[in-house]
Amino acid sequence: MRFSTALRDYTRRRIEKIGNVDIVVGVPSYNNDNTIAQVIKIAAKGIEQYFKEAKALIIVADGGSTDDTRENAKEEQLAPFVEKIVTIYRGIPGKGSALRSVFEAAYFLNAKACIVCDSDIRSINTMWVKNLVTPVMNDGYDFVTPLYIRHKYDGTITNNIVYQLTRSLYGKRIRQPIGGDFGFSRRILKYYLEQDVWETDIAKYGIDIWLTTSAITQKFNICQTRLGVKIHDSKDPSESLGPMFRQVMMTMFTLMEKHHNIWRKIKGSEPVDITGEASDQEPESITVNYNR
């Protein structure tokens, strides 16, 4: 496989030296020095607990953090069968370029499953790794989306627009189309890497909804997996709703134009398979600044 500009030379050399792995865990990051070490630690523990016979790689794809994100990630010690790479991705700034570097690494290493987790999660546990990896490695799914327990004020754009529009347009009841934590098969990674979106604003801003919409329209095997509560670094939902709305909706409408011959034929909607154990957790309350 030909590497693109998403991977730096030293990262490519490390990957070529590793050769092959079974599982790749990608962690896109930018200024997450308070949480990155914990995310890496839990991911490694999840692999050790549920996939001890597997060889794994955790790759932190950083966007040029100005805090101690990369240093904290490098210092975290892992089990011998879990490789770790901490790198600054190449390409246009944004989560899309980070994911591209993770996908390239996973595809080159012939990984049986690739998962990605947000770097600012405080509620991640080892079960997340099991529930994201197992549907791909054991059950034949290509794309695994998260199913969270969320506070009613959390996920505003998802709850009120993205879920509703994805369901009505494409006929799939995927509750978290832009959840941020996903599982992928090698087959779908190949498709993603062959697309020409990686130097566009879709990759920069709307990568999550592009991943989900592409999986639906290309008829990959999709399931949802229960991850329980999702708690990020503390933030006011009203603070970033404007930019978030513009970025996600720009991508959604661009994809609506592209796929109009698909969704105009859709009548009704159907449930999407759900895997993973149910949780009785309760989400944290969220305070919203109404003046903002």
Q: Assign residue 158 the CATH number of its domain.
A: 3.90.550.10
Cα–Cα distance measured from residue 177 to residue 87, given in angstroms and rounded to the nearest whole number: 27
Q: Using DSSP, how many helices (H) and how many strands (E) does the chain show?
A: 12, 10
What is the CA angle 86-56-76, rounded to 5?
A: 40
Residue with tokens 């040029």: 64
Q: Which two tokens stand for residue 20?
A: 């092959």
Residue 256 placed within a domain: yes
Strands 143-149 and 182-184: antiparallel
Residue 262 placed within a domain: yes
Q: Name which of 77, 103, 86, 88 is nearest 24 in CA terms.
A: 103
* pLDDT at 244 exceeding the cut of 90: no
Number of domains in the chain: 1
Strands 182-184 and 113-116: antiparallel
Per-residue pLDDT, 209: 96
Lowest mean pLDDT of 133-142, 147-156, 259-268, name the range: 147-156
Residue 287 placed within a domain: no
* pLDDT at 2 exceeding the cut of 60: no
> What percent of the chain stands above pLDDT 70?
96
Per-residue pLDDT, 237: 56
Residue 1 placed within a domain: no
Residue 58, judged by CB atoms within 10 A of its CB (0-12, 13-18, 19+), counts as: buried
Residue 290 placed within a domain: no
Residue 291 placed within a domain: no
Kindly report the pTM of this predicted structure: 0.92
Residue 281 placed within a domain: no
Residue-number span of the structural domain to which 176 is assigned: 9-275
Residue 153 placed within a domain: yes
